[in-house]
Amino acid sequence: MSQGIKQFMLCSLLALNLFSAAANAEGIKIKSAELERVDNDWLLNATFQIELTPGLEDALQKGVVLYFQTEFDLTRSRWYWFDEKPALALRQTRLSYQPMTQQYRIASEGFTFSSKTLFEALQTVGSIGGWRVIDNNQIDPSKSYTAALRMTLDLSKLPKPFQVNALNNRDWNVSSDWLRFPFAPTGTNLVKR
């Protein structure tokens, strides 16, 4: 094999590796999650890293509102029946772009925030603090549980033409993997990645 062909193949492989690394960087990743007890409630503090694909960034800039849904559930395995699910919580966060003010607007559960940069807006969407997910009356302190957490782009909230596009386009299916961790009602429940 000639030296020129070897160099071409090496450059092609490097370009493919860089392209696949860039493609894998987009999406949602869970960085940390913590359940802390405050009085009679368990509050979730979590951090997600969100990176939008170029298609989603473009749609957002053109006025499409993106809804991110965070899901939390608590289960207890039972050998004799279906798993018990004492707690399930859903939270929606809305991200939009306002061209007149050139700002991103984030809204979730009565909280609103404006940002000049997309990076800061995505950090805000990905930061959850003090979200009440478990009432202490829902759990038995002597039992062990599994907590699960994830964030997705809620495609059902997109305008209908975009929903059709999202079904056929992988760039629009943005979701984190489920993070599952043991939950002990009497212990510290912190997970870092």
CA dist., res. 91 & res. 70, Å (int): 5
Q: Is the pLDDT of residue 86 over 70?
A: yes
Report angle CA 91, 94, 96 to the nearest 5 degrees: 170
**Residue 5: CB partners within 8 Å, gap ≥ 6?**
none
Instruction: Report the pLDDT averaged over residues 80-105.
Output: 92
Residue 62: other Cβ atoms inside 10 A: 9
Q: Contact at 8 Å (CB) between 123 and 116?
A: no
What is the arithmetic mean of pLDDT over 167-188? 82
In terms of pTM, does the model score above 0.95? no
What's the start-to-end Cα distance of the chain, in Å? 45
- pLDDT score of 3: 44
DSSP codes, 96-148 = EEETTTTEEEEEETTEEEEESSHHHHHHHHTEEEEEEEEEGGGS-TTS-EEEE
d(CA 74, CA 71): 10
Segment 93-142, tens digit of pLDDT? 999 999 999 999 999 988 899 999 999 999 999 999 999 999 988 898 88
pLDDT of residue 24: 45
pLDDT of residue 43: 94
The residue with greater pLDDT, 5 or 84, is 84
Mean pLDDT in the chain?
A: 82
Q: What are phi and psi of 34, to 5 degrees?
A: -145, 135
